[in-house]
């Protein structure tokens, strides 16, 4: 049995939006936390607004901060290659981060930054309504699953949070120079593909009610 509890930001109160564009307009030139003082560009997210597979990463890095798009550096190339390996293009998925602005020096996100920013991510997930979420690394996984467990303890496993299936995987940046993690990531992306395919069948047959591979009590987060 997989232990699952609610994420800290998942029940955030706030306005809801009719689409990603209106959410982006609402965020505007966000000054809600101190990362606004050091960022170059707010990185909202990119991809198919109706994607069946959504990735959640940690925060923009240097390249992302400059270009305003998630995963455009070396880790982004690795992500593109992993997607290609399971027959998907970047344009077919949606990619967003826990934080929309780069922490200085790529330091870890602070608790108050996560609490302030994640209502935006929660709203993105609600609007996109993906069948499957791939959480990339510790911070995304801990937020979405609401767990303190490290990514190494949950990677490749299938969880259900509300209407979404969640598969945590290593962050691509962690696998750039670690062949062992890279191989694990390749395997976990195959797992993601398999979950995506079975979700399509399950959703068509029963609105998602027929899945049997989930652990935990299936709390509703989003
Ligand atoms: S990290 Fe989030 S809350 Fe903080 S300034 Fe950027 S968009 Fe606003």
Q: 158 vs 46, 49, 148, 211, CA distance in Å?
A: 24, 23, 16, 11
Among 12-26, 71-85, 108-122, 182-196, whose mean pLDDT is lowest?
12-26
Confidence check: pLDDT of 212 > 80: no
Q: How far is the CA of 34 from the centre of ligand 1 (A)?
A: 8
Ligand 1: residues within 6 Å at CB? Answer: 27, 30, 32-33, 35-36, 42, 99-101, 113, 116-117
* Stated pTM of the model: 0.88
- Residue 161, H or E segment: strand 159-161
Render pLDDT for 120-177 as a digit per residue (tens, 0 to 9): 999 999 999 999 999 999 999 999 999 999 999 999 999 998 778 999 999 999 999 8
- What are the residues facing 68 on neighbouring strands? none
Quote the tokens at residue 137: 């690394």
Confidence check: pLDDT of 92 > 90: yes
CA torsion sign for 6, 12, 13, 19 is negative
Q: How far is the CA of 39 from the centre of ligand 1 (A)?
A: 9
What's residue 206's pLDDT? 64
For residues 200 and 204, what is the distance between their CA atoms, to the nearest angstrom?
6
Q: How far is the CA of 25 from the centre of ligand 1 (A)?
A: 13
35 pLDDT band, cuts 50/70/90, is very high
Q: How far is the CA of 84 from the centre of ligand 1 (A)?
A: 31
For residues 147 and 70, what is the distance between their CA atoms, to the nearest angstrom?
24
Mean pLDDT of 36-42: 98
Confidence check: pLDDT of 219 > 70: no
Confidence check: pLDDT of 58 > 90: yes
What's residue 202's pLDDT? 82
Mean pLDDT of 26-31: 98
Domain boundaries, the chain: 25-206
For residues 28 and 222, what is the distance between their CA atoms, to the nearest angstrom?
23
Which atom of ligand 1 is found nearest the CA of 31?
Answer: 5
Cβ partners under 8 Å of residue 71, min gap 6 = 57, 64, 79, 80, 95, 172
- Classified by CATH at the fold level, domain 25-206 comes out as Uracil-DNA Glycosylase, subunit E (3.40.470)
What's residue 144's pLDDT? 96
């Amino acid at each position: 049995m997989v232990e699952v509890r609610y994420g800290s930001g998942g029940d955030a109160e706030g306005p809801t939006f009719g689409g990603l564009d209106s959410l982006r307009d609402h965020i505007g030139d966000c000054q809600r936390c101190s990362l606004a003082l050091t960022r170059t560009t707010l990185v909202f997210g990119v991809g198919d607004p109706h994607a069946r597979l959504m990735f959640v990463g940690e925060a923009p890095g240097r390249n992302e901060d400059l270009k305003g798009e998630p995963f455009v550096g070396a880790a982004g190339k690795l992500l593109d290659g992993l997607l290609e390996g399971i027959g998907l293009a970047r344009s077919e998925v949606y990619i967003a981060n826990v934080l929309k602005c780069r922490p200085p020096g790529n330091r870890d996100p602070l608790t108050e930054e996560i609490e302030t920013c994640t209502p935006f991510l929660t709203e993105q997930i609600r609007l996109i309504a993906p069948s499957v979420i791939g959480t990339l690394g510790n911070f995304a996984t801990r937020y979405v699953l609401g767990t303190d467990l490290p990514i190494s303890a949950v990677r490749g496993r299938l969880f259900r949070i509300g209407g979404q299936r969640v598969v945590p995987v290593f962050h691509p940046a962690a696998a750039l120079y670690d062949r062992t993690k890279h191989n694990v990531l390749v395997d976990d992306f195959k797992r993601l593909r398999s979950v995506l395919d079975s979700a399509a069948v399950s959703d068509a047959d029963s609105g998602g009610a027929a899945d049997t591979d989930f652990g935990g009590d299936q709390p509703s987060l989003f």
